[in-house]
C-alpha cells in the first residue's frame, strides 16, 4: 500500500525479490494541471507496467475491501506513504503482519511530513523506521531502524530519494526476519515523541525576520513543492537554492546586485530562482530580464 514516488523503489525491491506481490493498493487517480488530465499515482504506474493487480478504493473501511484482503491471504501488508489510515477491522484480521515504513527515527517526527520537518528543524540526522501498525498514528513498536545524515545543503527531494533507496534495502532484511520468526519489536519511548504535521501552504511564504540559516532550511525542506516564495514587483518568486552570507542588513532589504537579502541574523544570497509561470533559472539569468534595486524592500 503506497502512493508517491518515495514508495516505488520499495515496491520494485520486493517485486524483484523472491517474495510475491499479491496486490497493490494506492490512492485513486487524480486530476492535475490546468487541463484537468487524470493521472495515476507513481505506484499505480509501476504496478500497471508489471501487470500487478491494482486497487484504489476511496475507503478501506468497506466490507468488500476487508473481504478482498482476507481472501488474498497475504502474510504481510506493507504500508509506505499510502495516505490512508488502516481501519481497526482490517488490522484485526488474523494471520497478517501489518508493517509500515516511516521516514523518521521514531518516536521523533510521527505524522505526515517527517522529512520536511527534520530539514526545517535543522536536525543533523534522520532515518527509516520499520514498525508494526497500530490504530494510533505511527505509534507501533519498531523492528528495524537505519540512520542517515542530513547535510545542510540537502533539499527534500534529494533526501527523500536517498531514504527511499535505503528503505528498499531495509525492507528485504525485515521480510527475512519476519519469515524466519526472528523479528523483535521494541516499544517506542513515549517521552521522546515529536509530531511532523502536514505542510500548510501558508508556511511557504518567507519571513525575512527569521535568521538566514532557518530560512535556508525552510527553502531546502519545501523544495520542490510547495516551494518557498516572496513577492517582487507583484510577482511571486520561488527560491530554489540559496546560501548564507555573513553580514548585517535589515530584514527583507536587497543588499547588493547579487540578490543578497537581509534577514534578522546574517543574509541569504539567492542562487536559483523560479518566477511564477516560468522555468527555474540561475539568479544571473533571472537578473538579465528583471531589475532589482539595492535598498528595495521585499514582502
Whole domain around residue 228: which residue ranges?
201-289
**Average pLDDT of every residue of the chain:** 96
Nearest Cα to 105, choosing from 189, 11, 12? 189
CA distances (Å), 202 to each of 157, 199, 209, 251, in order? 20, 9, 16, 19
pLDDT tens by residue, 83-111: 999 999 999 999 999 999 999 999 999 99
Domain assignment present for 143: yes
**pLDDT at residue 223, rounded to an integer:** 96
Which of 169, 192, 215 delimits the end of a domain? Answer: 192
pLDDT tens by residue, 10-49: 999 999 999 999 999 999 998 876 667 889 999 999 999 9
Domain assignment present for 296: no
Both 224 and 282 in one domain: the answer is yes
**pLDDT band (50, 70, 90) for residue 277:** confident
Domain assignment present for 32: yes
Could you tell me whether strands 30-32 and 37-39 are parallel, antiparallel, or unpaired per DSSP bridges?
A: antiparallel
How large is the C-alpha radius of gyration of the chain?
22
Which of 168, 192, 216 delimits the end of a domain? Answer: 192
**pLDDT at residue 34, rounded to an integer:** 64
Domain count, the chain: 2
Strands (E), 206-279: 228-232, 235-245, 260-262, 267-275
Percentage of the chain surpassing pLDDT 90? 94
CA torsion through residues 83, 158, 11, 173, sign: negative
Both 53 and 91 in one domain: the answer is yes
| The pLDDT of residue 172 is above 80 | yes
**pLDDT at residue 194, rounded to an integer:** 98
Tell me the mean pLDDT in the region 186-198: 97
Q: What does the alpha-carbon distance between residue 208 and residue 297 come to, in Å, rounded to a whole number? A: 10
CATH number of the domain that 246 lies in?
Answer: 3.10.25.10
Both 277 and 172 in one domain: the answer is no
Q: Cell 533507496 sits at which residue? A: 165
**pLDDT at residue 35, rounded to an integer:** 65
Tell me the mean pLDDT in the region 179-206: 96
Tell me the mean pLDDT in the region 239-263: 97
3-state secondary structure of 92: coil
Both 16 and 157 in one domain: the answer is yes
Both 133 and 218 in one domain: the answer is no
pLDDT tens by residue, 202-236: 999 999 999 999 999 999 999 999 999 999 999 99
Percentage of the chain surpassing pLDDT 70? 99
Amino acid at each position: 500500500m503506497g502512493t508517491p514516488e518515495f514508495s516505488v523503489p520499495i515496491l520494485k525491491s520486493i517485486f524483484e525479490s523472491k517474495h510475491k506481490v499479491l496486490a497493490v493498493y494506492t490512492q485513486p487517480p487524480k486530476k492535475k494541471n490546468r487541463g484537468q488530465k487524470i493521472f495515476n499515482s507513481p505506484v499505480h504506474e509501476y504496478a500497471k507496467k508489471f501487470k500487478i493487480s491494482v486497487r484504489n478504493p476511496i475507503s478501506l473501511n468497506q466490507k468488500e475491501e476487508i473481504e478482498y484482503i482476507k481472501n488474498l491471504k497475504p502474510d504481510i501488508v506493507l504500508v509506505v506513504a499510502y495516505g490512508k489510515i488502516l481501519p481497526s477491522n482490517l488490522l484485526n484480521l488474523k494471520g497478517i503482519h501489518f508493517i509500515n515504513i516511516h521516514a523518521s527515527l521514531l518516536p521523533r517526527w510521527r505524522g505526515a511530513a517527517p522529512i520536511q520537518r527534520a530539514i526545517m528543524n535543522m536536525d543533523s540526522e534522520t532515518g527509516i523506521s520499520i514498525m508494526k501498525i497500530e490504530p494510533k498514528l505511527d505509534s507501533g513498536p519498531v523492528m528495524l531502524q537505519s540512520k542517515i545524515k542530513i547535510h545542510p545543503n540537502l533539499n527534500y527531494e534529494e533526501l527523500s530519494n536517498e531514504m527511499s533507496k535505503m528503505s528498499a534495502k531495509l525492507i528485504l532484511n525485515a521480510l527475512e526476519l519476519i519469515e524466519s520468526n526472528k523479528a523483535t519489536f521494541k516499544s517506542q519511548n513515549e517521552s521522546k515523541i515529536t509530531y511532523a504535521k502536514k505542510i500548510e501552504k501558508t508556511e511557504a511564504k518567507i519571513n525575512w525576520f527569521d535568521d538566514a540559516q532557518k530560512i535556508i532550511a525552510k527553502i531546502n525542506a519545501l523544495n520542490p513543492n510547495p516551494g518557498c516564495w516572496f513577492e517582487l514587483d507583484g510577482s511571486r518568486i520561488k527560491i530554489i537554492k540559496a546560501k548564507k552570507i555573513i553580514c548585517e542588513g535589515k530584514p527583507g532589504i536587497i543588499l547588493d546586485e547579487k540578490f543578497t537579502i537581509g534577514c534578522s541574523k546574517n543574509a541569504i544570497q539567492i542562487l536559483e530562482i523560479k518566477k511564477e509561470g516560468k522555468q527555474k533559472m540561475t539568479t544571473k539569468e533571472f537578473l538579465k530580464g528583471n531589475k532589482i534595486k539595492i535598498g528595495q524592500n521585499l514582502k
